[in-house]
């Protein structure tokens, strides 16, 4: 767990260094938005380390949402919500969930949780 945290910190540092190298403020803003998950959102990413396409979910209450473009493609996630997010292999949160993200947590690689490229729906529940 500690090792993962350190690795994540390294990724953030690299991303910030990359932004410093960009001269145009507008472009830097766009990159920063693309690489983060704004507060109260839940975000799935196509690749490890929050790379590739991103799908953003806004949960206004607890409930289930089917994954769209990233169905069976999500490889990392950020949960900035106060809720726990459960990951399902099937649509409509059918069956039992295969992975759960704690409130305000992130995971740069879902492979070690056995849930890489499987997520088809997500459900927010009380932590």
| Contacts with Ca ion, residue ranges (CB under 5 A) | 72-73, 75, 89, 117-118, 120
Are 79 and 85 in contact by the 8 Å Cβ rule? The answer is yes
Q: Between residues 80 and 89, which has the closer beta carbon with respect to Ca ion?
A: 89
Q: Between residues 16 and 34, which has the closer beta carbon with respect to Ca ion?
A: 34
| Widest distance between CA atoms in the chain | 49
Do β-strands 84-88 and 121-125 pair in parallel, antiparallel, or remain unpaired? Answer: antiparallel
Q: Which two tokens stand for residue 47?
A: 């690749």
Q: Between residues 118 and 122, which has the closer beta carbon with respect to Ca ion?
A: 118
Distance of closest approach, residue 6 Cβ to Ca ion, in angstroms: 23
Closest among 99, 115, 107 to 123, alpha carbons compared = 99
Distance of closest approach, residue 29 Cβ to Ca ion, in angstroms: 26
Q: Between residues 71 and 80, which has the closer beta carbon with respect to Ca ion?
A: 71
Are 119 and 72 in contact by the 8 Å Cβ rule? The answer is yes
Q: For residue 40, count other CB atoms closer than 10 A to its CB.
A: 12
Distance of closest approach, residue 89 Cβ to Ca ion, in angstroms: 4
Distance of closest approach, residue 47 Cβ to Ca ion, in angstroms: 5
């Amino acid at each position: 767990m500690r090792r993962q945290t350190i690795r994540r910190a390294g990724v953030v540092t690299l991303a910030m260094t990359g932004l410093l190298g960009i001269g145009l403020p507008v472009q830097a803003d766009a990159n920063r938005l693309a690489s983060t998950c704004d507060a109260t959102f839940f975000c799935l990413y196509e690749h490890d380390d929050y790379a590739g396409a991103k799908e953003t979910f806004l949960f206004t209450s607890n409930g289930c949402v089917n994954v769209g473009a990233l169905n069976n493609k999500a490889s990392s996630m950020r949960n900035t919500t106060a809720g726990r997010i459960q990951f399902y292999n099937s649509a409509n949160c059918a069956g039992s969930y295969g992975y759960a993200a704690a409130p305000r947590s992130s995971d740069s690689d879902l492979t070690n949780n056995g849930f890489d490229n499987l997520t088809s729906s997500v459900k927010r529940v009380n932590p």
